[in-house]
Copies of this chain bind each other. A is one copy, B any other.
Amino acid sequence: MGGTPLKQIKIGIFGLGTVGGGVVEQLRENRELLKARTGTDLVILKAVVANPSKPRPFDLGPIEVSGDPNFILDDPEIDVVIELMGGVTLAKEILLRSFVSGKTVITANKALLAECAEEVFEAAYEHHALLGFEAAVAGAIPVIRVIKEGLAGDRITEVSGIINGTANYILTSMSKKGEDFQKALGKAQEKGYAEADPTFDVEGVDTAHKLLVLMCIAFGGIFDFKELYTEGITKIEPVDIEIAAGFGYVIKLLGKAKEVGGKVEGRVHPTLVPEDQMLASVDGAFNAVKLSGNFSGPIVSYGRGAGARPTASAVVADLVSLVRQRESETSPVPPLSLMSEKLKHRKLMPMAEVLSEYYLRFSVEDKVGVLAELTRVLGSHNISIASMIQRSRSEEGGPVFVVFFTHEALERDVVEALKTLDQLPFIAQPTRMIRVDPS
């Protein structure tokens, strides 16, 4: 290279698992390119991990490893902290202390950002922190950048997407191979697409964490994670996937938020998506996010939502972006895109007020008058029917399925109607309700 040596940016990293290893490798493999793009040399000097003596499947090079967070946090030489440990309590302490000491912070921790949104973002603004969290949502897809900068001039009206690869992998297997949930989950675990405890993924919690982070940026405010309606995929049965397919729909675990007339609606649940929509063709462990702006129209971004290298790509993109800002001693892009005095707390619309179309699968005794009673009760709750099919089960004389697709109805009315219907004597099993998203 020759000439004056470049300024070194000193990095401390928390966590050297899958993603941490990817970051170490990316900074090594792309080092010259990163020098050309930032005018600095980005070097990880220290790592803090739970078990410092554990062997790692990658070369640590000059990185010193410790089990004590203060090894990084108390070192005034460290410019940038990368937090990839997960968990909430210690991670929050790391972020807050780093803000106070003027360290630039990059995190992939969606649980922390969603569950402690108020505390973390308010502290970031208070200390004028440089904070990047692109890796927290949708792996390599630069969705946070697209919201904050690509749609910087738009009023965002919708954020939705498939942002949990594990759930999508399971639903794709169920859909393509006719497997039931337990079998598809087992296979996903064998292949490393699902963890031993898959609760966060299959119950929608991880999707909800990520959606909440996107909502804070998209709609300019802090939302309360506990207000976000969250429903997982564990109750989806092959028969629902099959019936949905017959009507031209694919079942996806969707996170979706909209702002209409100043009211924000946000929810995570299995959703029937028309098969000709972009989101319907997102298979396996891939993620996709749809954003709509009042001028841009819809923008869909698709890519790998997890894994060592794709997630590292998002971490290092933040690193480049924040080092460019740090070296110019400014923060031209505020953490949530808004200037701090405009930051506000926002309430979510209650789920009961949401309007949606619905797929309702009733298990009923096969006898005269049942259909009339079902439609009467639905009608009395302002629910009108768009289409219907009736299917016998395989066993003779057993209950039959009656499936209704409804026109748009109020969630409250549907919940009330099902509460009434499920107590009727001819209902053989609790009714399966899945929301339909025709847009």
Q: Which residue of B lies closest to A327 (CB)?
A: B332
A140-B295, A299-B301 known; A313-B154 Cβ under 8 A? yes
Is the C-beta of A236 less than 8 angstroms from some C-beta in chain B? no
State the CA gap A238–B280 with chains docked (Å).
Answer: 29
State the CA gap A310–B297 with chains docked (Å).
Answer: 6
Return the contact of A333 from the options B30, B324, B330 (Cβ within 8 A): B324
Query: Contact: B317 with A140, CB < 8 Å?
Result: no
Contacts of A312 in B (CB 8 A): 153, 295
Query: Contact: A295 with B316, CB < 8 Å?
Result: yes
State the CA gap A60–B261 with chains docked (Å).
Answer: 27
Is the C-beta of A29 less than 8 angstroms from some C-beta in chain B? yes
Contacts of A352 in B (CB 8 A): none
A37-B339, A294-B29 known; A152-B316 Cβ under 8 A? yes
Contacts of A304 in B (CB 8 A): 296-298
Is the C-beta of A274 less than 8 angstroms from some C-beta in chain B? no
Query: Contact: A338 with B36, CB < 8 Å?
Result: yes
A175 CB to nearest B CB, Å: 15
Tell me which residues from 38 to 66 in chain A have a Cβ below 8 Å from any Cβ of chain B. 38-39
Query: Contact: A294 with B39, CB < 8 Å?
Result: no
Copies in the complex: 2
Contacts of A141 in B (CB 8 A): 150, 299
State the CA gap A51–B278 with chains docked (Å).
Answer: 42
Return the contact of A302 from the options B293, B299, B319, B327 (Cβ within 8 A): B299
Is the C-beta of A176 less than 8 angstroms from some C-beta in chain B? no
Is the C-beta of A353 less than 8 angstroms from some C-beta in chain B? no
Return the contact of A332 from the options B26, B317, B330 (Cβ within 8 A): B330
Is the C-beta of A34 less than 8 angstroms from some C-beta in chain B? yes
A153 CB to nearest B CB, Å: 3
Is the C-beta of A263 less than 8 angstroms from some C-beta in chain B? no
Is the C-beta of A331 less than 8 angstroms from some C-beta in chain B? yes
Contacts of A298 in B (CB 8 A): 303-304
Q: Which residue of B lies closest to A25 (CB)?
A: B295
Is the C-beta of A93 less than 8 angstroms from some C-beta in chain B? no
Return the contact of A313 from the options B30, B39, B151, B342 (Cβ within 8 A): B151
Return the contact of A295 from the options B36, B155, B309 (Cβ within 8 A): B309
The 8 closest A-B pairs by CB, nearest first: A142-B150, A153-B316, A328-B330, A152-B320, A140-B296, A324-B332, A296-B313, A299-B303
| 12 pairs of residues in contact across A and B, judged by CB atoms under 8 Å | A30-B153, A36-B338, A142-B150, A149-B317, A149-B321, A153-B320, A296-B309, A297-B303, A299-B302, A301-B302, A321-B332, A324-B333
Task: Please name 5 further chain A to chain B contacts, defined as beta carbons within 8 Å, in addition to the given A152-B321, A153-B317, sorted by A numbering.
Answer: A26-B295, A141-B150, A142-B145, A153-B320, A300-B303
